[in-house]
Structure 1
Amino acid sequence: MSTDDALEITHETTPNRDGWMLSLRKTVARRPRPHGDEAPRRPVLIVPGYGMNSFIFGFHPTGRSLEHHLAWRGFEVWSVDFRAQGRSRSTGGALTGWGLDELATIDTTAAVAHVLDRTDTGASQVDLIGCSLGTSIMLAHAVLGDRERLGSLVAFGGPLRWAQVHPLVALAFRSPWLAAALPFKGTRRMAELALPLLLKTPLMSIYLNPQSSDMSRWREMIATVEDPIPQINGEIARWILDRDLTLQGTNITKAVEGLGNPLLCVVARQDGIVPAETARSPYLHSGAELKALLEVGDEKLPHAHADLFLSREAEARVFEPTAEWLARPTSGIAGV
């Protein structure tokens, strides 16, 4: 890290009022270089996705991480660990019996409230960045929660409508009942054992491309891995079959069509976890007047799911366009 944009990182906690103490990480730069004027911007809250915690948002093997870059560009950046993720801890809450609804309407609500209560910006709204399944949680929160507290929304490689499903993902989630019935334990340890072998096979490319991302620090990267939640597995399986997610009797895709928050949709063209046609769905269905589509990756430098955060070009191709758009939301289609 260069000395001209040294970071101040603090860890905070907040109760979700459902038996969990959520962990949040705040990142600001001591000497930022913001786009445009230096007036305080809305705080940015990053929402994690499936089987992961917030670690990866503050990590990059060779350059600035997503958190670091946004902070350098003048944003007050927050990341949250939901229940059963990262540093969050149970205060009586169960490890089962909850799913996407609770993450969207309880945990995200608590995180947004904490950020707005603790921000130094004086803002009354927060911008959200949803990563992978965090995109779906973010959009469900915007539909079912208090959208008046939300500013701009950014979707990083996340599904809304499953317009396309990779065959391996379809196989893994072919049965909602089976997906919900199978417990998962020790996933991080399994990743530690399997990753050195997977890196030598083409199978890895649906998630991460060694030709695009430096994998020399893979042992650190797997700190972001968490055990998947069986109920959420079942919900994803049903969602893939139905194509659209339904929570509280609401079709989230159709409801997003009435959502006016400015939206940036970031798509990894070579993604096999959330294929490009599916990752474009937030952009295609958003009712926002200000919405933009950023597509990343080509044959020379392919970008799959995790490359959005880890590739050698992530700062230039993903983080910087995101920071610039958050500073001045616009409409349009781009590809880099």
Structure 2
Amino acid sequence: MAISMFIQKSFRPKTADGWCLDVICYRDTRHFDPRRKPVLMIPGYAMNVFILNFHPTGMSMIEYLCAQGFEVWAANLRGQGASIYIGEPGPEKNASKRRRLSWRRGARAARAPKYGFRELSLVDFPCARDFALAHSQTSATEVHAIGCSLGGSLLYAYLAHNPRDHQIASMTAIGGPLRWDDIHPAMRAAVRFPILTGLIPTRGTRQAARVMLPVLKRVPRVLSIYMNAQQINLDDSESMVQTVEDPSSRLNYQIARWVKNRDLHVDGLNVTEALAQLNDLPILCIVANADGIVPVAAASSVCDIAGKCTTKILQVGGDGNDWYAHADLFVSENAQATVFKPMGDWLYAQPLIQADRI
């Protein structure tokens, strides 16, 4: 019986405002190269890291990067995966009560304060990054940050607030929007009234996906805004829905305002304008040619805005039945060849850790 050399270990770093995050480290001991800076992956809207280590027919994105020698960290921020709200530090007499409540998912949802872009980008991301660097098997002081969908936008927000001291060696945005100069009609309708968008019930999303996905795969045209059903094997939809999370109502409101107004504002800062001052950061934008969620213009807009950085656009998808939508970037039949490999090659070409730190 073959012994797997793929290591997966979970950690629970704590934020200053009372969240216990769910951060997972992956390493393939057969290929691990300690000279390479670690990768830190941030999942997107209403999703967790499951989809990054899952593929219906082949190697997952995380498995591929580990096979290239990278140590990969994937962070479930607040509201994602097994992240839980345990309350802000207080008197010791309340500690046992917080511990009892913290592991009850229902209690977490009821007690946790609302959150949005500020908390996710300016509190959770640096917490996960600092933890990954402190516990890495490398001697790196920077990470290769990969933002998936909205995860890319969270990285943009962090960089806008920290254009110099960010401890990011490179950034990859996979279908990650910045400026909304092009919007799909369905998205435009959904965000027309931001206040109403923020009032939409957000419970039971995974259960709804579990019921709807097997039905919708029979009518692929309905799914086309999000995925090309001819590119993805949907037979294991039960596993696929494990990546779905309930969204945040405050985040929904903020996204609606952002899409409607085009520019993202986080904690009083115009992220688009601030990124124009970002210097010397390698940025790779991976975009799907027929993405109805994040159109090409939105997913590649940082390349025009961050003019002082070295940027590259990888557009995936062709003509006929070979077009790519949002989800295809992660789980399409050919994702390893069209997305994982070129991304891995780009990361592999980035500078190694300095010899005196190894």
TM (normalized to structure 2)? 0.87
**How far off its partner does 1:174 sit?**
1.3
2:347 corresponds to 1:326 = yes
2:25 corresponds to 1:29 = no
2:198 corresponds to 1:180 = yes
Partner of 1:19: 18
Write the distance in 2 (CA, Å) between the matches of 1:256 and 1:200.
43
Over aligned residues, Cα RMSD in angstroms? 1.8
Residue 295 of structure 2 aligns to which amino acid in structure 1?
P
2:268 aligns with one of 235, 244, 249: 249
* TM alignment of 1:190-209, pairs within 5 A: 190-201=208-219, 202-209=221-228
**How far off its partner does 1:329 sit?**
4.4
Write the distance in 1 (CA, Å) between the matches of 2:239 and 2:308.
38
Residue 142 of structure 2 aligns to which amino acid in structure 1?
Q
Partner of 2:318: 298
Confirm or deny: 8 A CA contact 1:265 1:294 kept in the other structure.
yes
Confirm or deny: 8 A CA contact 1:13 1:24 kept in the other structure.
yes
Partner of 2:229: 210
Confirm or deny: 8 A CA contact 1:10 1:27 kept in the other structure.
yes
The structure-2 alpha-carbon separation of the partners of 1:298 and 1:128, relative to structure 1 and needing over 3 Å to count, comes to same
Write the distance in 2 (CA, Å) between the matches of 1:28 and 1:97.
34
Partner of 1:334: none
**How far off its partner does 1:148 sit?**
3.5
**How far off its partner does 1:307 sit?**
0.6
Pair member with larger Rg: 2
The structure-2 alpha-carbon separation of the partners of 1:5 and 1:318, relative to structure 1 and needing over 3 Å to count, comes to farther
Partner of 1:311: 332
**How far off its partner does 1:4 sit?**
9.4
Higher deviation after alignment, 43-52 or 177-186: 177-186
**How far off its partner does 1:183 sit?**
2.6
Confirm or deny: 8 A CA contact 1:22 1:82 kept in the other structure.
yes
Once the two structures are superposed, what CA deviation does each residue of 1:46-76 show, in whole Å capped at 9, x if it has no partner?
A: 0111111111011011111111000000000
Partner of 1:224: 243
Higher deviation after alignment, 41-50 or 164-173: 164-173
2:300 corresponds to 1:280 = yes
Write the distance in 2 (CA, Å) between the matches of 1:188 and 1:100.
22
**How far off its partner does 1:5 sit?**
7.6
Confirm or deny: 8 A CA contact 1:269 1:298 kept in the other structure.
yes
Write the distance in 1 (CA, Å) between the matches of 2:127 and 2:307.
26
1:95 aligns with one of 112, 117, 122: 112
Structure 1 stretches of 4+ with a deviation exceeding 3 A read 3-6, 93-96, 145-148
The structure-2 alpha-carbon separation of the partners of 1:159 and 1:117, relative to structure 1 and needing over 3 Å to count, comes to same
Residue 292 of structure 2 aligns to which amino acid in structure 1?
G
Residue 250 of structure 2 aligns to which amino acid in structure 1?
Q
Is the partner of 1:272 in helix, strand or coil?
coil
Confirm or deny: 8 A CA contact 1:155 1:266 kept in the other structure.
yes
The structure-2 alpha-carbon separation of the partners of 1:203 and 1:147, relative to structure 1 and needing over 3 Å to count, comes to farther
Confirm or deny: 8 A CA contact 2:161 2:274 kept in the other structure.
no
Higher deviation after alignment, 51-60 or 255-264: 255-264
Partner of 1:333: none
1:151 aligns with one of 144, 151, 169: 169
Query: Unaligned stretches of 5+ in structure 1?
Result: 331-336
- Identity percentage over the alignment? 39
Confirm or deny: 8 A CA contact 1:5 1:30 kept in the other structure.
no
Write the distance in 1 (CA, Å) between the matches of 2:3 and 2:172.
27
Write the distance in 2 (CA, Å) between the matches of 1:158 and 1:238.
17
Residue 261 of structure 2 aligns to which amino acid in structure 1?
D
Residue 129 of structure 1 aligns to which amino acid in structure 2?
I
**How far off its partner does 1:97 sit?**
2.7
Write the distance in 1 (CA, Å) between the matches of 2:3 and 2:159.
36
Once the two structures are superposed, what CA deviation does each residue of 1:139-162 show, in whole Å capped at 9, x if it has no partner?
A: 111121474311100000011001
* TM alignment of 1:43-58, pairs within 5 A: 43-58=38-53
Higher deviation after alignment, 178-187 or 261-270: 178-187
Confirm or deny: 8 A CA contact 1:84 1:95 kept in the other structure.
no
Write the distance in 1 (CA, Å) between the matches of 2:55 and 2:278.
33
Higher deviation after alignment, 96-105 or 186-195: 96-105
2:180 corresponds to 1:162 = yes
Is the partner of 1:8 in helix, strand or coil?
strand
**How far off its partner does 1:288 sit?**
4.2
Query: Unaligned stretches of 5+ in structure 2?
Result: 89-110, 352-358
**How far off its partner does 1:188 sit?**
0.4
Once the two structures are superposed, what CA deviation does each residue of 1:203-238 show, in whole Å capped at 9, x if it has no partner?
A: 201111121111111110100101111101110111
Confirm or deny: 8 A CA contact 1:263 1:286 kept in the other structure.
no
Is the partner of 1:196 in helix, strand or coil?
helix
